[in-house]
Structure 1
């Protein structure tokens, strides 16, 4: 598509410049330093870093990068985004249109920029490296291309597949859409190439490993309802013993615990002082400004004495002893004061212990965790239950997530039917992954998003304010700017 090909010039700029690419003015093709790049092994290192830099792309509105994952929860019955970070509040009130901004636009445009850069990388990296290093570098690029295409498939469904180096494509070329099934098949092809080439080790430094690609393939297979295949691959990850549940559940979400957690399988890495969060610190947007407030409906899902509730949410009356970060006249957590709106709940997850009075000047660098081993275990349980029913292995994986040290929740009751186990797994996912951005995709994957979200009252104190969700949102609208640039080949998704 014209805009995708055009965006390679910015995409390559991100590859060639250290750090996240934030200024997206398009540069003319005759000013890019292609003639002096791809000349040395260092160029391959530099370019690979650039591919990961697309994980830092902006999310389309202030104070929310694209992979600020818990902004996704504001699209659901789990959270309310009073400042509309990521666009969840406006999507829930006004619905989705081809002119909607924030995530509705950013995921389409940014993912294609990342794909274009990956295509360019794969077309040229063999010029400067070889052997095992080449195998690993190409595998990382295959994974990142698949990662971006999977987002497009989940959100927009039928999208163009572009495989060629954009510098070899006619700038005036327009492309039509492939089916979602074709896109997912391509995603799995790339993930298989990634699995074959990535090192079979734990995740540590931000670079994808074999288990990362396997975990994302499990997600794809579950999305496709290929339950037996998803269960088999998830079991392979579990049996490989490269990952494990963190004995400290909360430490998965803040530094320094994230640095040593064997549960994290993929994340967006930050590191002070050079790589802080974009626009505004998480501590300010989340805790001082109340950007992501939990719903009572979600809080009702926690079982009695589930410590994940107090590790994820503050309670009325909490003080410094419970981790409340404010002092002075805000030293006691009180609904209705500061950014805490009455009728909602203030989050605790993602808050680094010890931070006091967070503001726009606070610097923080907690990584955005995109895949955890707990997810693999619960995906196994879901897939296996759908494939064969609630056998002993399903119980084992769910119970191990519930019974990790520090959580110590009792095992599920014996004798659950397949339908009963399905509901227990769904409930477990909701509380285990609260504020981790999975709920929206779970509801859509399960086919119950309209049932759960349309007409949902986010705040019991405002019963007349309800969410809007329509069946057609299973396929998001393609941004109108892309339709206009690529007419007549690119058609809008149905009913928009």
Structure 2
């Protein structure tokens, strides 16, 4: 039972759409008298569902972030020219991401304020405990919103109370992340002590294990910033000793997530079959509550105005008249390793010749590769079923063939521009019942495979490779039907880090993780070269140029890839907001 999916999240109070369009998009606080509303746990839950709804808006299209990496092509966008766009739905930018995060924070602060009053007045111990658990959800949700702000902008306005009005909102200054991060960690620790391990069959709400997992993730990121530096964030002073402290804390918390809750990845490493790999099954709505999934933003439908747009963004005209906003690149395909050797295959040769040995248009070139590729990407000759425009009818099987769009001849119609030669299979549902923007599929913000990889990274930074961590990577690789890593080949921290990065690339493709990894590991120059150089050129499978990336780019443009611009609209309203150094 999807608990949050079938709640009317429009709600009351902080849950309403009646918001003051001021600097931080505060909810109105006077629409319903507190004497009439804040009287029961149901009232507290109603307001909390409004916070979940705001979080859903904030994280809804996280997969667009992957367009800031090297493995995903986003229509109409350009890697290396980050000033022209920001991730999110097409056309969105910095201001919407900023405002969406503060909408979560303000709704959470509002709910926490009133629920704390209820807790103080409550005499029944059981009811008090329920209210404390509800409040812990709000602390959790607020921490996720602040973490997203810090990831994007570094120092940001930080407050834990209901703003008194526009005057206060427009007087806020940026708080250093050295102050924010420890408070988020404390909030998540406290939340984990109040939240339940589960809600039975009522899925979609924050749990104890989710709080611990995100606490550990924040610790890991803070460790990375201290190890690798963040020179674009003015005033931030990296410290190797602080880095080691937080790597150790992250490893400890991730270990609890892995060992204390009975979680398993789907299939426990069993690959399934080539035609139906377990990895692909993970991204179908009927498995979204399996033990691998730690926290998601939830969706429901049809006709509840609570559906997702995954089909629209990943699918084609053949699947529900979708728009295919994003596509994989040949660079991603080249990262899928051989199921025979366990190592990388030779890079594909880009050519129209479908008979060319190791050619990108030759189906034989894709044999014996990591089965997760079969679940993620479609290349020439792969197929899926047609879905009617209204989403209600399944049709015949259609074949993907780059350059062919005629459904009458049995081909998938992808009329998107800047095609790469590939389309995604991952997230494409193959059942009828929902139109392209009204789907039921939850989007995963934390799953156990990611925890395995982050744990291995934290341990690698503190003690180097361990047999335990190599075994965890092998469990993930096993569902790609890949040979196991051996401890002798990955005996150094450098070699094992490369193995971790490899698994993060293929395991988490389309889940919005890659650009944040690039930034916290400071790999932009490593990937695209030095300033004022040729950068990289992206080609399609025919060998035709799609775009140049960081070509003749200045060092300033590289710096902008590491930190976002504080929205100028917000700075115009609040002159106390300083601008990040690369954007001045």
TM-score range, shorter chain: 0.7 to 0.9
- Matched-pair contact (CA < 8 Å) for 1:276–1:365: no
* Aligned equivalent of 1:255, options 285, 291, 307: 285
- Which residue of structure 2 aligns with residue 138 of structure 1? 135
- Which residue of structure 2 aligns with residue 246 of structure 1? 266
- Matched-pair contact (CA < 8 Å) for 2:66–2:513: yes
The CA distance in 2 between the partners of 1:202 and 1:400, in whole Å, is: 28
- Which residue of structure 2 aligns with residue 177 of structure 1? 174
Q: Does 1:116 align with 2:113?
A: no
Q: Deviations over 1:229-280 (max 9, x none)?
A: 2111111111113321011222222211213x110111111111254566x8
The CA distance in 2 between the partners of 1:271 and 1:235, in whole Å, is: 33
Alpha-carbon distance, 1:464 to partner:
5.2
> Partner of 1:265: helix, strand, or coil?
strand
Q: Which has the larger radius of gyration?
A: 2
Alignment of 1:294-305 (within 5 A): 294-304=328-338, 305=369
Alpha-carbon distance, 1:459 to partner:
2.6
- Matched-pair contact (CA < 8 Å) for 2:383–2:400: yes
The CA distance in 1 between the partners of 2:108 and 2:499, in whole Å, is: 40
Q: Which runs of 5+ in 2 are unaligned?
A: 1-8, 120-126, 224-245, 268-277, 317-322, 339-368, 389-393, 406-412, 530-534
- Matched-pair contact (CA < 8 Å) for 2:220–2:250: yes
- Matched-pair contact (CA < 8 Å) for 1:202–1:243: no
- Which residue of structure 1 aligns with residue 273 of structure 2? none
Q: RMSD across aligned C-alpha pairs, in angstroms?
A: 3.1
Q: Does 1:71 align with 2:64?
A: yes
With normalisation by structure 1, the TM-score equals 0.84
- Which residue of structure 2 aligns with residue 462 of structure 1? 545
- Which residue of structure 2 aligns with residue 33 of structure 1? 32
State how many pairs are aligned.
462
Q: Does 1:286 align with 2:308?
A: no
The CA distance in 2 between the partners of 1:28 and 1:265, in whole Å, is: 29
- Which residue of structure 2 aligns with residue 43 of structure 1? 43
- Which residue of structure 2 aligns with residue 481 of structure 1? 569
Higher helix fraction: Structure 1 or Structure 2? 1
> Partner of 2:325: helix, strand, or coil?
coil
The CA distance in 1 between the partners of 2:373 and 2:19, in whole Å, is: 39
- Matched-pair contact (CA < 8 Å) for 2:51–2:141: yes
Q: Which runs of 5+ in 1 are unaligned?
A: 1-12, 60-65
Alpha-carbon distance, 1:329 to partner:
10
Alpha-carbon distance, 1:343 to partner:
3.0
* Aligned equivalent of 1:351, options 414, 421, 428: 428
Taking a change above 3 Å as real, the CA distance of residues 290 and 32 of structure 1, as seen in their structure-2 partners, is same
- Matched-pair contact (CA < 8 Å) for 1:15–1:51: no
> Partner of 2:145: helix, strand, or coil?
helix
* Aligned equivalent of 1:306, options 345, 348, 370: 370
- Matched-pair contact (CA < 8 Å) for 1:270–1:276: no
Alpha-carbon distance, 1:22 to partner:
9.9
Q: Deviations over 1:10-55 (max 9, x none)?
A: xxx9662798959986799586224543233321121111110112
Structure 1 stretch 228-237 or stretch 159-168: which is displaced more?
159-168
Q: Deviations over 1:83-139 (max 9, x none)?
A: x5xxxx2564453589x9624222211111110111111111134454210121111
The CA distance in 1 between the partners of 2:169 and 2:377, in whole Å, is: 51
The CA distance in 2 between the partners of 1:43 and 1:363, in whole Å, is: 28
Taking a change above 3 Å as real, the CA distance of residues 94 and 74 of structure 1, as seen in their structure-2 partners, is closer
The CA distance in 2 between the partners of 1:328 and 1:369, in whole Å, is: 29
Taking a change above 3 Å as real, the CA distance of residues 297 and 232 of structure 1, as seen in their structure-2 partners, is same
* Aligned equivalent of 1:268, options 297, 300, 303: 297
> Partner of 1:331: helix, strand, or coil?
strand
> Partner of 1:457: helix, strand, or coil?
strand
Taking a change above 3 Å as real, the CA distance of residues 169 and 74 of structure 1, as seen in their structure-2 partners, is closer
> Partner of 2:315: helix, strand, or coil?
helix
Q: Deviations over 1:298-332 (max 9, x none)?
A: 11000022100000011211234xx6769999922
